[in-house]
């Protein structure tokens, strides 16, 4: 145990956390136990290498991880910052507890059966969610403290009344296809994405081999950065050729460049030597211009100008080749690689509760990045997009605020039928310019591709509408596409 490690341990044990009990289990393990969740601090020593600290927060009832990371203990101030973030998540967990969700329909009968299926699914997945069903009038009369209220399609048009009765809840409509088939998995996926827990539905694939023939004799690390309202995640995987040899997910309230660096610095914890990597591919939100993160710099905590180029910063520190791409672009390449039936494809990805999403486009096998990586950044439409034939957004709305009500007037409900024309408008822009063979749609609120085709048919002859494919494995396509992009660069003559 080094001097820095001893000082950090002593500081943690002496640090009082309101409503929690700190216990020094042994020299390498400390717990901070609260009523709803427990924080764990673990120390690992490796010969000739800096000590590694693991911080995590798990809920006591379900064991759900809501904070997790490793970092090298080399800067005490940085270590204290990360500890403070962990304590913040512990405190947030205390205030959240079980997530209560209300389902509403006309008389409550159909939603009662659906709520039972959702409770069963949540229990199977060890999710601390509880679903309840009521008739709409009863729900408005009783009120209650709910994180979300999900409306059956037949009462979706009364969204504004429900929002008035439950001002602190997220209000959304269950897509007709999901509701009609009692698709508990689809409803849970949409709800968890809306509440910031969508990472719980991600899973590792042991075989990432795309359908298109790509030679791979490399060891590649893939990193996917995803921002969520509740917490953000950095998922990473290491593949030797096509075989998965290591993976993990970092959960944090706030992300910055140092978190990605921490993953590389502590890779040996997972049994992988950094020197064995041929390259690292990183997929992030926002425009990427030859490694410069652009707007992502602001979203992830504010980079100084000299470190905005994460490729250069990581190469200088670790000496391994690093490539950075927009995550929607990577997912689009993944769609292209996993289906060899199309020469040109586009992908539209959007989170429930956001007005617009992002798009990626592959034309004749080549990814369209655009000037300064701006291609497909539909956020630029936020203040100009039209809803239902003429309602423009006001400049007064904060388009960086993830809350739906911050984007649009309160009389625009987040319903599938009202968002359908918006999605069609975004796709028409791509079709008019590129005319891809297929468009993949990663948007849980709208999963009825026949309804989307009918909406597009209002502006286009049927023959001009691309094949429309709804996808629910967006994260898997990010990893598949980023792998293909990294291997493409490594195979280039100047690589």
pLDDT in tens, 261-275: 899 999 999 999 999
3-state secondary structure at position 163: helix
Positive or negative torsion for Cα 364, 369, 371, 377: positive
- Residue 157 confidence (pLDDT): 80
- CA 291 to CA 35: how far, in whole Å? 43
Residue 219 bridge partners (DSSP):
240
pLDDT band at 200 (very low <50, low <70, confident <90, very high): very low
* In contact, 58 and 125? CB cutoff 8 Å: no
Residue 244, helix vs strand vs coil: strand
pLDDT at residue 40 in the model: 96
**pLDDT at res. 173:** 84
Q: What percent of the chain has pLDDT over 70?
A: 83
Within 285-414, strands assigned E span: 322-326, 345-349, 358-363, 366-367, 386-387, 391-392
Cα separation, 285 vs 294, whole angstroms: 10
Which whole number is the average pLDDT over 182-191?
85
State yes or no: pLDDT of 306 exceeds 50: no
Across the beta sheet with 49-59, the strand order is: 21-26, 29-33, 37-46, 49-59, 65-72, 243-252, 232-240, 219-226, 279-284, 322-326
- What is the reported pLDDT for 425? 87
Lowest pLDDT segment from 275-284, 420-429, 476-485: 420-429
Highest mean pLDDT among 92-96, 211-215, 293-297, 299-303: 211-215
Q: Is the pLDDT score of 482 beyond 70?
A: yes
The DSSP bridge pattern shows strands 279-284 and 219-226 to be parallel
Residues 6+ apart with CB under 8 A from 303: 256, 257, 293, 297
Q: What is the pLDDT of residue 398?
A: 46
- The whole-number pLDDT of residue 387 equals 44
Q: Which residue has the higher pLDDT, 428 or 168?
A: 428
H-run or E-run covering 245: strand 243-252
What is the average pLDDT score of the chain?
82
For residue 147, pLDDT over 90 is answered with: no
Contacts of 250 (CB under 8 A, 6+ apart): 68, 69, 233, 234, 235, 236, 259, 263
Over residues 59-104, the pLDDT tens digits come to 887 677 778 899 999 899 999 999 998 998 887 766 656 789 999 9
Write down the pLDDT at residue 199: 46
Give the whole-angstrom CA distance, residue 425 versus residue 435: 14
Of 330, 325, 357, 338, nearest to 444 by C-alpha is 357
Q: What angle do CA 358, 210, 345 make, to 5 degrees?
A: 35
What is residue 198's DSSP assignment?
A: G
Return the structure tokens found at 149.
């209220």
Mean pLDDT within 341-362: 88
Q: Which of 75-79, 218-222, 297-301 comes out lowest in average pLDDT?
A: 297-301
């Amino acid at each position: 145990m080094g001097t820095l490690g001893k000082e950090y341990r002593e500081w943690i044990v002496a640090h009082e956390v309101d409503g929690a009990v700190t216990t020094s289990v042994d020299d390498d393990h400390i717990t901070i136990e609260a009523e709803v969740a427990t924080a764990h601090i673990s120390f690992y020593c490796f010969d000739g290498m800096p000590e590694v600290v693991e911080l995590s927060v798990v809920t006591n009832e379900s064991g759900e991880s809501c904070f997790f990371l490793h970092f090298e203990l080399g800067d005490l101030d940085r270590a204290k910052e990360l500890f403070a973030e962990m304590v913040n998540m512990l405190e947030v967990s205390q205030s959240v507890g079980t997530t209560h969700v209300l389902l509403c329909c006309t008389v409550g009968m159909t939603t009662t059966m659906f709520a039972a299926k959702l409770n069963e699914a949540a229990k199977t997945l060890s999710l601390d969610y509880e679903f309840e069903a009521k008739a709409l009038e009863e729900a408005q009369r009783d009120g209650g403290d709910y994180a979300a209220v999900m409306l059956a399609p037949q009462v979706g048009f009364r969204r504004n009344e429900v929002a008035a009765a439950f001002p602190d809840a997220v209000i959304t409509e269950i897509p007709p296809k999901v509701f009609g088939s009692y698709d508990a998995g689809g409803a849970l996926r949409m709800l968890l994405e809306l509440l910031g827990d969508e990472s719980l539905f991600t899973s590792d694939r042991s075989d990432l081999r795309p359908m298109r023939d790509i030679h791979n004799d490399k060891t590649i690390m893939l990193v996917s950065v995803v921002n969520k309202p509740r917490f953000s995640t950095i998922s990473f995987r290491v593949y030797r050729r096509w075989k998965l040899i290591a993976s993990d997910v970092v959960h944090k309230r706030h992300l910055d460049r140092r978190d990605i660096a921490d993953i590389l610095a502590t890779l040996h914890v997972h049994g992988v030597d950094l020197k064995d990597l041929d390259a690292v591919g990183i997929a992030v939100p926002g425009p990427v211009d030859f490694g410069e993160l652009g707007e992502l710099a602001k979203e992830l905590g504010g980079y100084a100008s000299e470190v905005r180029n994460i490729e250069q910063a990581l190469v200088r520190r670790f000496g391994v080749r690093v490539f950075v791409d927009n995550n929607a672009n990577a997912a689009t390449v993944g769609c292209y690689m996993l289906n060899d039936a199309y020469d040109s494809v586009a992908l539209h990805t959007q989170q429930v509760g956001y007005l617009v999403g992002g798009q990626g486009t592959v034309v004749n096998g080549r990814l369209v990045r655009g000037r300064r990586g701006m291609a497909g950044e539909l956020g630029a439409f936020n203040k100009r997009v039209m809803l239902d034939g003429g309602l423009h957004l006001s400049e007064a709305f904060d388009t960086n605020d993830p809350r739906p009500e911050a984007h649009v007037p309160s009389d625009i409900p987040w319903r599938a039928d009202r968002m359908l024309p918006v999605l069609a408008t975004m796709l028409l822009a791509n079709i008019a310019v590129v005319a891809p063979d297929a468009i993949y749609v990663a948007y849980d609120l709208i999963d009825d591709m026949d309804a989307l085709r009918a909406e597009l048919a209002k502006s286009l002859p049927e023959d001009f509408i691309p094949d429309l494919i709804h996808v629910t494995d967006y994260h898997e396509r990010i990893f598949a596409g980023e792998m293909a992009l990294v291997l493409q660069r490594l195979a280039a003559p100047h690589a």
